[in-house]
Structure 1
Amino acid sequence: MSKTRVAVNGYGVIGKRVADAVALQPDMELIGIADIVTDWRIQSAAGRFPLFASTDEARQAMLQAGLPVAGSLEDLLGQVDVIADTTPKHVAAENLPRYRAAGVKVVLQGGESHETTGHSFVAQANYESALGRDMTRVVSCNTTSIVRVLGALQDAGLLAKARGVLIRRATDPWESHLGGIMNTMVPESKIPSHQGPDAQTVLPGLDLVTIAAKGAHTQTHNHYWTLQLTRPASREEVLAALRTAPRIAFIRMADGLVALNSTIELMKDLGRPRGDMWEVAVWEDLVTVQGDEAYLTYQVYNEAIVVPETIDAIRALTETAPDAADSMKITDSTLGMRQDFLAENVSALRGDR
């Protein structure tokens, strides 16, 4: 079977991770990456992937910088089936006429609005509705985590409604020198914050309200949820629903994972590329159930969590995997995703698996 030919436009925080993930897939071929920059971000990709210039001005600048330019974005589009646009917020929407003219499938990211594509995507929730579409939008990092976790409890028949507080990181680590938030916290200007309505574009029946603030840190986001259950339940029932869901992994304060930075350090120690965490990390020992209410907290690594969703979106648009389970099995295996970071590591060392 021929491989799906994929391009990535925008080799930034998400784009470089998507490019690496595409290269790992047995049914995909990364044809090239496009961008407009000439600095270390694109120089690090030279020799790894064919480089294309997204604009005429960028092509001249790349050539002057000594970069090996394989062609224009239009040249790249003429060679692929799908393009994953991981350019900055709102740029992708401006690129859509170029993609339509080339007749390629398009995967956008959560910085664009739901209305831009008419479809928003999280693999475990609505893969089938994306089959054969011309385009879809992988929702944002926080929204992806909400759909994974709350969707798991909804699928188990346990969730009636959810109220969440999100503490968001202030900026990407590599941009922290440009500004950001120090010694304060900045509430978002409206309630609900945008993540709640965004999650409802994927799970329309989800009753949730989100409140968000930016904190003075650059490593990952942190969510706190108060959940109204459909009935009195046990803690084990809630944990079982989360264990059943894909792309959720447990961590424990009892193991010394007591803060966001400790989990990031664990990812590095596990040998994850760039220290990435594609899963939602739920603190197992903090999950609390009192009658028909549950409380939990989890961590979202925003640089990586949408990468597996982008890979699955490519398969859905091209109909190269018939359902979410088949696609996610391939994606999760190639990335080495887990359901329990430390327990699986110890089990593997003992030879249990």
Structure 2
Amino acid sequence: MTENMIRVAVNGYGVIGKRVVDAVRAMPDMVLVGVADVIGDWRIRTAVGQGIAVFAATGQGEAAMRAAGVPVAGSLEDLLGVVDVVVDTTPKRVAATNLATYRAAGVKAVFQGGEAHATTGHSFVAQANYASAVGRDMTRVVSCNTTSVVRVLGALQDAGLLARARGVLIRRATDPGESHLGGVMNTVVPEASIPSHQGPDALTVRPDLDVVTMAAKAAHTQTHNHYWTLQLTRPASREEVLEALRAAPRIAFIKMTDGLAALNTTVELMRDLGRPRGDMWEVAVWEDVLAVQDDEAFLTYQVYNEAIVVPETIDAIRALTGSVPDGPTSIAMTDQALGMRREFLPVLDQAVTGA
């Protein structure tokens, strides 16, 4: 470990936490000091098997870990005493209760989208507002769906093309690993209010967006699906809209004509590409579905809820510590280390394929 590496702790080794841990360990400028949790089951035992130092977030948690035979390196306070920044990936509304502990330890803190914007006073998506997070004590990486909204709509806004956006979100019922605990079965449950929370949440990052979202929860567990009707600032071509999306980071393109015709096919593609856990960090836009009519655009894309916020979290770490003051530089570092793509499939030689 070199002196100038960012020392990182992760509090909560669940769906997001374990992915953040792997990403931190993949970064050339970061070192994972340890993880904290309150359980001693298979999840934390996998961390022990990877040689990760495990700390107890609470006294009760320590007792449970030791009873399960988990080697406990110390308390959460011990861990905070030797790091520069902590990433809190504990369950929704739990993280806010940890804020006083982080402040007392004098460490920077990255929260996740389950917490309210007011918890940190700053919400984060790297391509949109990296600079405003530099040197702050804390920030909140917005939710998976909000991250996708800011990436896609922000790309069109930056290109001067977006006037307003109206979107419908079909959300997965629960995480795949929790399917046995209950969830939506054989039905679709509309959210009880319009707008759904994602539109207002996007405004915490890009206040000048004109966006309204509606959402429903469906009986599936693999990823979210968005449908957008976009009012453009002027008549534009389909290629202009695609070029605006191509100019932005962390947006990739898939095609129905390649057989990627449904959410599960893209999940399978990620596995075939050798992605860890089959994760997709990019927003996957269906290129051949996107349509433009005069000054309106229509598109649909896929959001891998378990992974999309991971690269944003890595960039938030750099921003808070000030180690990389430039957003595009941090984004490029993260994307290269994770192996993110703009196109998932190779471009084939048309002469060879006979097309």
Residue 343 of structure 1: how far off its partner (Å): 3.2
Partner of 1:240: 243
Residue 64 of structure 1: how far off its partner (Å): 1.2
**SS of 2:48's equivalent?**
coil
The reply on whether 1:10 has 2:15 as its aligned counterpart is no
Residue 232 of structure 1: how far off its partner (Å): 0.2
Match of 1:29 among 4, 28, 31: 31
| Structure 2 gaps, min length 5 | none
Partner of 1:88: 91
Equivalent residue runs for 1:131-146 within 5 Å: 131-146=134-149
Structure 1 stretch 322-331 or stretch 192-201: which is displaced more? 322-331
Match of 1:64 among 60, 63, 67: 67
| Structure 1 gaps, min length 5 | none
Amino acid at match of 1:33: V
Taking the aligned partners of 1:90 and 1:268, their CA distance within structure 2 comes to 32
Residue 77 of structure 1: how far off its partner (Å): 0.3
Residue 322 of structure 1: how far off its partner (Å): 1.7
Amino acid at match of 2:176: P
Taking the aligned partners of 1:333 and 1:34, their CA distance within structure 2 comes to 28
Equivalent residue runs for 1:131-170 within 5 Å: 131-170=134-173
The ranges of structure 1 where at least 4 consecutive aligned residues each deviate by more than 2 angstroms after the TM superposition are none
Taking the aligned partners of 1:156 and 1:39, their CA distance within structure 2 comes to 48
TM-score (norm 1): 0.97
The reply on whether 1:257 has 2:267 as its aligned counterpart is no
Taking the aligned partners of 2:290 and 2:159, their CA distance within structure 1 comes to 16
TM-score (norm 2): 0.97
Residue 47 of structure 1: how far off its partner (Å): 3.3
Partner of 2:334: 331
**SS of 1:266's equivalent?**
helix
The reply on whether 1:181 has 2:184 as its aligned counterpart is yes
Residue 6 of structure 1: how far off its partner (Å): 0.2
Provide Cα deviations, 1:315-337, integer angstroms capped at 9, x if missing partner: 00001112111101110000000
Provide Cα deviations, 1:88-127, integer angstroms capped at 9, x if missing partner: 0010100000000000000000000000000000000000
The reply on whether 1:194 has 2:158 as its aligned counterpart is no
**SS of 2:300's equivalent?**
strand
Amino acid at match of 2:201: D
Residue 226 of structure 1: how far off its partner (Å): 0.1
Provide Cα deviations, 1:208-258, integer angstroms capped at 9, x if missing partner: 100000000000000000000000000000000000000000000000000
Taking the aligned partners of 2:41 and 2:291, their CA distance within structure 1 comes to 48
**SS of 1:71's equivalent?**
coil
Structure 1 stretch 111-120 or stretch 40-49: which is displaced more? 40-49
Partner of 1:310: 313
Amino acid at match of 1:85: D
Partner of 1:45: 47
**SS of 2:47's equivalent?**
coil
**SS of 2:15's equivalent?**
coil
**SS of 1:137's equivalent?**
strand
Partner of 2:344: 341
Amino acid at match of 1:223: H
Residue 186 of structure 1: how far off its partner (Å): 0.1
The reply on whether 1:108 has 2:105 as its aligned counterpart is no
Match of 2:220 among 217, 220, 241: 217
Residue 173 of structure 1: how far off its partner (Å): 0.6
Question: CA-atom RMSD, angstroms?
Answer: 1.0
**SS of 1:285's equivalent?**
coil
**SS of 1:245's equivalent?**
coil
Amino acid at match of 1:323: D
Provide Cα deviations, 1:63-94, integer angstroms capped at 9, x if missing partner: 11111110000000001000000000010100
Identical-residue share of aligned pairs (%):
75
Count of residues paired in the alignment? 347
Match of 1:121 among 112, 117, 124: 124
Taking the aligned partners of 2:346 and 2:119, their CA distance within structure 1 comes to 42
Taking the aligned partners of 2:71 and 2:175, their CA distance within structure 1 comes to 28
Match of 2:301 among 298, 302, 305: 298
